[in-house]
Amino acid sequence: MPGVDTSNSEKARSFVIDDKEKGIFLLDREALVSEEVLRAEVSNIFSKCWIYVGHGSELKKNGDFQTRKVAGRPVIFVRDAKGEVRCFFNTCRHRGAMVCTERQGNLRRFNCVYHGWIYNNDGKLARVPGDEAYMDSFDTTGLGLKSPARFEQYRDFWFMCLDADVESLADYLGKATDYIDLVIDQSPSGKMEVLHGTQEYDVQANWKLMVENSVDDYHLPTTHSTWLNFMANSGVVVEPPKDKDLVLPTRGFAFDLGNGHFTTDNVNFRGRPVAAWIPLYGENAKPEMTAIREELVTRLGADRARRVADTNRNLVIFPNLVINDGSSVTIRTFYPDGPAKMHVTAWALGPVEESEEARARRLDAFLTFYGPGGFATPDDVEALELVQQGLANWSDDRWSEMSRGMGREGEQLNSDEHHLRTFWRHWNKMIAGAQS
Amino acid sequence: MNAPANVLANVQVTRAEVEDFFYREAALLDEWKLKEWEELLTDDATYYVPPNDDLEGSYKNTLYIISDDRERIRQRVIRVLDPNCHAEYPKSRTCRLITNVRILNVEGDLVTATANFVVYRYRRYQREFSYVGTYRFILRKTGDSFLIKERRVFLHAHELGKLGSVSFIL
């Protein structure tokens, strides 16, 4: 690309060409294939940003724990004996072994199988076998399980940060909290819970392609034509777009929420388990869904109820948390395993007071679209893997074209690439900063 | 004590018959003869793949990988045979090895049988996936063969991750 310094010199380099005058936005494909870029991401993004750990509802009773990898780090997410939610590195302070090997459960203590050091579920070191071999000055109080530098929650969504100097989680989330609140407003008590059952699928593609894909409404008619066909076969009338600037039946928008967060905000056409009935849910569901909608109107007023029931949104919390509030509600997070591979984990989220029937409907609606056996996600995975395979030519075909909607004044459409550019601009600032 | 008159006498069934049926189904799936495969299902057939971290949870309150009623199975077949099902186009090649066939229970004309399986799945560019698990079917004996009333597939991996999508009929 003429006029662009693509050398790996010591000065800051940019991975994007962002020419507002010409309405051109290009992404350097090296960002999607490079080991060096991944190293910069680990140090400047995953070690500096707030990263989603889990939801408080996954720890119902004192002593409940979940082990998982967060930003590549094995951690224990646990509710201690006093009910406090905590996060520890799953690493023995003695010689480094993981101290909890179960995926989930309830424990008062974590025992290291190697030399038998034992920790309470509040992280305190409780027992060192043969402690008479240590000098009197040996102090176990400083040898509890270590925690990430920061661990905070917003409405029971818990995040960790490896950088002690980071701003508070609330400040970091900023305007994104409005959209988290909108998702939670489905629940009369304001409490949502993660449901049993975890979906996991590896994708042989760069993790940032999942960020793009999670909010990219431009791809829906082509990548998901079999899903649209299924919807039509199930009695959902999907009208062709009426305005020529649209690719979906209804007008939807994309919003930059600051700090690299962004969301789509769409008028729903696909049904919502919270109170937008489609034939797929069955006639029997109608009375209950009408009642759910009435409760929303009573509690929230007509306008807010309409926002909850008749709009859907795919929200990205930078860098790697996606909340899809569409065919159902998903929490999705992903982490790179090399530049061309990621691990994806997804959960379903629902109101705590939901009836058995509504819960079953929510889960069924989830599977119509999402997950490794869903009617849409496998085709997303395929599309992302096709991108990664195509990128083998990156050095000779260097730039991805992401200018869609650049010339649009005012409102930005969900099917434009405005929100993807929001991500890439923020990402570029953090990575270019690393190399300057 | 005599059984109540309204309870069917248990059908006679041999392991060899059940084994033959598993093999026949596997061949149809491996050959992508999904319309013929559908003829092996009862009108109220279901197809379940529970999540790897909660194999015995109910689909009504647990997020499954797949939880299909008969209509959803019909739609799944339409989808995967469509060339626009990108995850299965070009079609994966699969090869199913089925073994350890056991009859667990016979009640009237319903036979609960299990089998262990390995499904090797090959995609373009030499990508290989091995799905290791157990089938647990509820079969209805009909004349000299069976129909599948419930088709439950347990995957044995601790995590599904590296298996990727389950975009074919497992």
Where are the alpha helices (H) located in A137-254, listed in sequence order? 169-173, 176-184, 207-215, 220-223, 225-233
> What is the distance between the terminal CA atoms of chain B, rounded to a whole angstrom?
43
pLDDT at site A375: 97
- Of all residues in chain A, the one with the smallest CA distance to B71 is A234
Inform me whether the C-beta atom of residue B62 falls under 8 Å from chain A C-beta atoms.
yes
With an 8 Å Cβ cutoff, are A378 and B67 in contact? no
CB contact under 8 A, A381 and B79: no
Provide the domain limits for residue B21.
15-163
Which of A196, A223, A373 is nearest residue B62 as measured by Cβ atoms? A196
Continuous segment of H or E residues that includes residue A288: helix A286-300
Find the closest chain B residue to A366 by CA distance.
B63
Asked if A389 reaches chain B (Cβ–Cβ under 8 Å), the answer is yes
User: For residue B86, which residues of chain A lie inside 8 Å, CB to CB?
Assistant: 223, 378-379, 382-383, 386
DSSP string covering A300-340, please? Answer: H-HHHHHHHHHEEEEEEETTTEEEEESSSEEEEEEEESSTT
Please give the tally of structural domains in chain B.
1
Name the CATH architecture for the domain at A185-435.
Answer: Alpha-Beta Complex (3.90)
Between B57, B160, B165, which is nearest A381 by CB? Answer: B165
pLDDT tens digits in sequence order for chain B, 170 residues long: 455 556 678 999 999 999 999 999 999 999 999 999 999 999 999 999 999 889 999 999 999 999 999 999 999 999 999 999 999 999 999 999 999 999 999 999 999 999 999 999 999 877 899 999 999 999 999 998 999 999 999 999 888 888 889 999 99
Rounded Cα–Cα distance for residues A257 and A254 (Å): 10
For residue A17, give every residue at least 6 positions away whose Cβ sits within 8 Å of its Cβ, in sequence order, or none: A1, A4, A24, A25, A26, A399
Using CB atoms, which residue from B57, B76, B165 is nearest to A196? B57
Per-residue model confidence (pLDDT) at position A238: 80
In a domain, B170, yes or no: no
Query: Which positions ≥6 away from B87 have C-beta within 8 Å?
Result: A378, A379, A381, A382, B165, B167
Nearest-angstrom CA–CA distance, A86 and A78: 5
Return left, alpha or beta for A271; rule: phi > 0 is left, psi -120 to 50 is alpha, else beta: left
Nearest-neighbour CA in chain B from A200: distance (Å): 5
ipTM of the complex: 0.94
Each residue's pLDDT tens digit, A150-184: 999 999 999 999 999 999 999 999 999 999 999 99
CATH number of the CATH domain containing B108:
3.10.450.50
Look at residue A334 in the predicted model and tell me its pLDDT: 97
Number of neighbours of residue B161 by Cβ within 10 angstroms:
19
Q: Which residues of chain A have pLDDT under 70?
A: 1-12, 433-436
A201 vs B160: CB contact, 8 Å cut-off? yes
In this structure, what are the phi and psi dihedrals at residue A302, rounded to the nearest 5 degrees? -65, -40
- CATH number at A54-169: 2.102.10.10
Residues of chain A within CATH 3.90.380.10 domain(s) are 185-435
Residue B62: CB partners within 8 Å, gap ≥ 6?
A: A195, A196, A197, A363, B50, B51, B54
Closest chain B C-alpha to A375 CA, distance in angstroms: 8
pLDDT of residue A348: 98
A101 touches chain B (CB under 8 A): no
Report the distance separating Cα A70 and Cα A17, nearest Å.
32
CA atoms within 13 A on the CB side of B54: 18
- Is A200–B161 a contact, with Cβ atoms under 8 angstroms apart? yes
Are the CB atoms for A157 and A52 separated by under 8 Å?
Answer: yes
Contact: A372, B164; criterion CB under 8 Å? yes
Q: Is B1 a member of any domain?
A: no
Burial A290-301 (b: 16+ CB within 10 A, else e): eebbeebbeebe
pTM of the model: 0.94
Looking at CA atoms only, how far is residue A344 from chain B in angstroms?
7
To the nearest whole Å, the CA of B128 is away from the closest chain A CA by 13
Domain with CATH 2.102.10.10 in chain A: 54-169
pLDDT at A6: 47
In this prediction, residue A12 carries a pLDDT of: 65
Spell out the residues 6+ positions from residue A238 whose beta carbon is closer than 8 angstroms to its own. Answer: A228, A231, A232, A249, A269, A270
Q: Do A104 and B53 touch (CB under 8 A)?
A: yes
3-state secondary structure of A354: coil
B7 in any annotated domain = no
Q: Which of A198, A203, A367 sits opposite B67 (nearest CB)?
A: A367
Asked if residue B6 belongs to a domain, the reply is: no
Determine the pLDDT at residue A4: 46
Determine the residue of chain B that is closest to A371 in CA distance: B65
Quickly tell me which residue has 């109608």 as its tokens: A286
Contact call for residues A400 and A29 (beta carbons, < 8 A): yes
